[in-house]
Chain A
């Protein structure tokens, strides 16, 4: 299986190119699943729509929205001045402008134009110099900050996406793209969605994303627009997009289908799509990582056992715990197989065998450097047997800090609501209520029997919940009591969420309340 990306897209500035070739340019440890979708939406908002040549973009640019973000997250004066009884009302606007300009210009010293004395002059007309009106707008928009309890730097704080003016990208202090929270995971999802072979569906998805997330007419977007400087006056950064392996995976198709299924839930307001969307994206990434590992190792698919009994069934708990471990270890094993496999490819095979035969460490080092774009480090030049050198390279890939799927699976699954981890309890696969909702929204077009629902979850994501799926995954002879309990727990939770309805002892339905009308 050829996993290498096209050479012109291959990442240049990395430590090595192993996970990059296996899974794609980068999945950064600190990029939580919701930030992945934020980044994807940022790419969609920056590329032309409708896309004339129907090919994914290789670059895009991100607006900085410096002044709006400064007003929202960095201005301490607005509230203070508005409540200050010492200042007469008509003077409050000028007073506030003086203060904020001082602070803004001091902070952005090198980044503002020389002639810019009043950086916020554009607000005068929009808000008729009325501080109350401004405060109302700031106050409402501020309440739309995502993950607001996290105290991040102001250039890394994000708004819920409700129109392109609300997109805030992760930026460093000097307004260059920061790769900590926008680590390219979102770019990869963008590329995956564009690999969807059904062109019509791809166009529909693109249209839905613009209609439901990037709608310029949304009231929140209008508030954000009013607080922002015009796009031309605002700064922007150009970005070259990351890369995906050339090979196509089922997971890409599933990801795109899930996005489309979710965005066609017409009875769910636009503002409520984001939460299920990032959770289902997280799940699809887990499935993607498993699929890559499975394909490279040519093994059967790895089941995803979820414990829905909230730890009440010890056996199930243990299984779900082992299952997570299995997923993580599969990522490490995939690296081992990939590295060894690569050295058997025609480009390297003969040279590598010769080096082994002659025990020629130098040429072995060169082959490895070439094959995996390895950057040298202190261990590289030690006088080691070649076999050991090779296992060192594998170990280095398995232990690297970024783009390491073994490590990344934990924050990814936790952030998506797929894993529970508490003190003294080992992490295990579960599905929290938000993921359950996301699964119903994406997988239930029409009302279906509960059994069919879990059957679909198994087919699509290898999620094992009930006894039937357990038998399919592990054979007829396993004990299924715990899976029966699991299924009961699922139904109970779906009922509490108003997503399931029991008809009789023998029959229960799963209902997607946000898609009923279109099904008729």
Chain B
């Protein structure tokens, strides 16, 4: 009995000696049912319990808001978005920065659920009120504050209080419903995703936290985790010291993978994915990004809660069970049961890219026959793959085949995160392993548009392909024309087959000017813009539409794609037609035909031309 107790005590002691308290603290941010501790109020508590400094993610927005509040004419700020966007976190940080007091948040004076900042704002001397969650207010409180709030948000008054209002977007709209024009204004700002910060006629700044680009702060999110000061504790760990590189702690392996920043790193590829997701309208709350990074770092296949502890990590390393901690699978939430996986938006979004489910002959061949050109990884590469591959090659039974296919998926995913993308779209381009085979070109175009570098040759080649794809779709011919956009109007004849007629040709610097731009909002979405005099029509180039147009240029058929793409192009076509009808009083449409070289040609409608001559 005594011996047993002593043994237990010894184990406990070793734990104390080697376990890093950072790991359970980080795990509390991961995909566990208890991840409600992510709520800002609870995070501080969790940090204190584990004796760790809470994750600090620098957000440029906070400084911007504080600067605005410190001006002689501050504006109220509405922080809206969905759960997990960091509304409360931002409000707390604003208060802390304004007051330079880290403890003020919990001690501030309250009237019901409405906080009063203890000092008037510098310069303007206006009082500051904070509503940290509009939905927490009861009916009486709401009625009481409604008129003051509306007044502050829609009037210029040097004495009126300035508000920081945090509210979920749906709730915000519900609250102001019917109070026009404020209600309409909020809808307009939210739907167009535009900032009204600089608008002098508006007395509030609406910030949709859900639409903030995560690309800039993604590095900060990863760094706040992988560069946390308490990783220092790991240096004294026996596993690190004794087991050597061959049995390296999987948590540290994963941390190394996350620390890499080059073009062929997981971090770079995830940032690309974020860009594509955002331009597809899928914005991810910061909380979801943290969950993902933690799951890459600590994900474990074996048993609930599917996250590594130091003890588990030591065991995996000792037994060489690296396939259980594979970050290239865990990045998609593969360590979680399907039902749980679905609870996290990040995994749904990442799985929509179908990474590893798409492939080409080059990759299949190279993986099957061990092509040395492909990069390897000492823990998650051939080491966890050779076994099942050889088994399958030697005895290709159904059971072996299944396991092999699963392992192939993991390897394809690893390659996706370990190769450098190229816009020439060669066979070893990692994007070949995803739904967006032309993802690299998309990112390239996106960057060039942002940096206004339109003279770049590769960019121009991409633009040419897009125009050709668009001309093919709009004229329903297999044309090669790609120097200008042929806008036809397919007349809306009910149950008829009208001949599409040419109404306008848009090119660079023409009467109808064609240009590639990016939207001036948070998504920076690339668009094709047709401008006539003062008006213009945009076709937002979502990644899926981009993929469609490039594939059409390469000879694919439209039927392979979903109908919403066709609807978007149709909408663009109709909007240009309407704009043309308004801009030019009289348009003489023309028939179109295809030359023997595949170029579009116009053929005048003689009877209409005659009429015009006569006029």
Interface residues of chain A, those whose CB is within 8 Å of chain B, are 34, 126-128, 130, 132-133, 136-137, 139-140, 143-150, 160, 162, 217, 219-220, 222-223, 226, 266-275, 278, 446-449, 452, 495-498, 501-507, 509, 511, 513-514, 517
- With the chains together, A256 CA to B383 CA distance in Å? 73
Q: Complex: how many Å from CA A143 to CA B82?
A: 50
- B354: CB under 8 A from chain A? no
Residues of A within 8 Å of B587, CB to CB, are 219
B interface residues with partner A (beta carbon < 8 Å) = 81-83, 168-171, 173, 177, 184, 187-188, 190-191, 208, 210, 281, 489, 491-499, 501, 535, 562-564, 567-568, 571, 574-575, 577-579, 581-582, 586-589, 591, 605-608, 610-611
Chain B residues closer than 8 Å to A502, beta-carbon distance? 281
B496-A271 in contact (CB<8A): no
Q: Distance in Å from the Cβ of A444 to the closest Cβ of chain B?
A: 11
CB distance B495 to A513 under 8 Å?
A: no
A446 neighbours in B (Cβ, 8 Å): 184, 187-188
Question: What is the bound-complex CA distance between A199 and B581, given in angstroms?
Answer: 28
- Among A267, A452, A509, which residue has its beta carbon within 8 angstroms of that of B575? A267
B578 adjacent to A136 (CB under 8 Å): no
User: Which of chain B's residues have a CB closer than 8 A to the CB of A150?
Assistant: 495
Q: For the complex, what is the distance from the CA of A55 to the CA of B587, rounded to whole Å?
A: 36
Q: How far is the CA of A158 from the CA of B188 in the complex (A)?
A: 42
21 contacts between A and B (CB under 8 A): A127-B607, A147-B494, A147-B495, A219-B588, A220-B491, A226-B607, A266-B578, A269-B578, A270-B581, A271-B491, A272-B491, A272-B492, A273-B492, A275-B494, A447-B191, A496-B562, A504-B210, A506-B169, A507-B190, A509-B191, A513-B571
Known: A222-B608, A267-B579, A503-B210. A160 touches B187 (CB 8 A): no
State whether A505 touches B82 (Cβ < 8 A). yes
Of B82, B499, B589, the residue contacting A506 (CB under 8 A) is B82
B340 to chain A, nearest CB (A): 18
A222-B607, A503-B210 given as contacts; is B492 within 8 A of A275 (CB)? yes
CB distance B169 to A160 under 8 Å? no
A-chain residues with CB within 8 Å of residue B497 when the two chains form the complex:
143, 148
CB distance from B536 to the nearest CB of A (A): 10
CA distance A340 to B581 in the complex (A): 56
* A160-B190 in contact (CB<8A): no
Residues of B within 8 A of A505 (CB): 82-83, 170
Q: Are the C-beta atoms of B591 and A497 separated by less than 8 Å?
A: no
Nearest opposing residue in chain B for A34, CB measure: B494
Known contacts: A136-B607, A219-B589, A446-B188. The answer to whether A269 contacts B581 by CB under 8 A is yes
Q: Once the chains bind, are B81 and A219 in contact (CB under 8 Å)?
A: no
Known: A446-B184, A503-B208. 20 other contacts (CB 8 A): A130-B606, A133-B607, A144-B498, A148-B496, A160-B493, A160-B496, A222-B608, A222-B611, A223-B605, A226-B607, A274-B492, A275-B492, A446-B188, A448-B187, A449-B170, A496-B562, A504-B168, A509-B190, A509-B191, A514-B578
* A501 and B578 in contact, given A143-B499, A148-B496 (Cβ under 8 angstroms): no
B608 in contact with A506 (CB, 8 Å): no
In the bound complex, CA of A495 to CA of B544 (Å): 14
Contacts of B581 in A (CB 8 A): 269-270
Picked from A136, A146, A509, A517, the residue with its CB within 8 Å of the CB of B495 is A146
Q: Decide if B498 touches A498 in the complex (CB within 8 Å).
A: no
Which of A136, A219, A274 has the most C-beta atoms of chain B within 10 angstroms of its own C-beta?
Answer: A219
Residues of chain A within 8 A of B498, CB atoms compared: 143-144, 160
Taking CB atoms, residues of chain B closer than 8 Å to A217 are: 586
CA distance A222 to B501 in the complex (A): 15
CA distance A349 to B177 in the complex (A): 53
Neighbouring B residues of A509 by C-beta, 8 Å: 187, 190-191
Q: How far is the CB of A361 from chain B (nearest CB, A)?
A: 52
Residues of A within 8 A of B493 (CB): 143-146, 148, 160, 271
Question: Lowest 8 A-B CB distances belong to which pairs?
Answer: A506-B170, A504-B82, A272-B492, A507-B170, A133-B606, A269-B577, A271-B491, A507-B169
Q: What separation, in Å, do the CA atoms of A124 and B271 have in the docked complex? A: 69
